[in-house]
């Protein structure tokens, strides 16, 4: 039996023993083990939700950080103008790449749909052909001996 099976969030002998031992050593450890036994199944979903929220928070920080950068000035007007022009050019290229990616994704979706339609049509043709006998007439579904 592997370790993950022993410590799954359920009322197993191992988890009960760890909970009792936790209460005997230091009561918050026992309480933590009890919480794991009761709410452990929800930890995966909770972890996923926290990770998504954190990713969204940091992504918004990166986006907002990028909008404030062009206002930074070095004091050299020529350099600042060149820098702003380059950042605008790069942003335009990024926008074009995003549009191309969206078009390609739409193209792939359409190819998959067409392939699925072709496979379905082939299935229906083969099904119809299998139900016809040699004379071209339909074969009875239920034949009695």
Predicted local distance difference test score (pLDDT) of residue 30? 87
Predicted local distance difference test score (pLDDT) of residue 57? 79
pLDDT tens digits, one per residue of 33-80: 888 888 877 777 777 777 788 887 777 776 665 555 556 788 889 999
Q: What's the maximum distance between 2 C-alpha atoms anywhere in the chain?
A: 98
Helices 13-25, 27-39: inter-axial angle, 10-degree rounding = 150
Supply φ then ψ for residue 6, to 5 degrees.
Answer: -70, -35
Q: Which range among 5-9, 31-35, 41-45, 87-91 shows the weakest confidence by mean pLDDT?
A: 5-9
Greater confidence (133 vs 100) lies with: 100
pTM over 0.85: no
Predicted confidence band of residue 32 (pLDDT cuts 50, 70, 90): confident
Residue 82, pLDDT > 60, answer yes
Cα 38 to Cα 10: distance, rounded to the nearest angstrom: 7
């Amino acid at each position: 039996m592997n370790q993950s099976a022993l410590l799954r969030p359920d009322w197993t002998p191992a988890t009960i023993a760890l909970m009792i031992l936790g209460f005997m050593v230091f009561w918050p450890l026992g309480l933590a083990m009890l919480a794991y036994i009761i709410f452990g199944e929800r930890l995966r979903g909770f972890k996923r939700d926290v990770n998504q929220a954190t990713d969204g928070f940091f992504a918004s920080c990166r986006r907002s950080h990028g909008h404030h950068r062009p206002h930074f000035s070095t004091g050299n007007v020529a350099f600042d103008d060149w820098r702003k022009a380059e950042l605008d050019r790069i942003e335009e290229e990024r926008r074009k790449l995003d549009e191309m990616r969206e078009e390609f994704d739409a193209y792939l979706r359409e190819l998959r749909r067409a392939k699925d339609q072709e496979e379905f049509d082939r299935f229906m043709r083969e099904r119809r052909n299998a139900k016809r006998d040699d004379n071209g007439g339909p074969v009875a579904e239920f034949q009695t001996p």
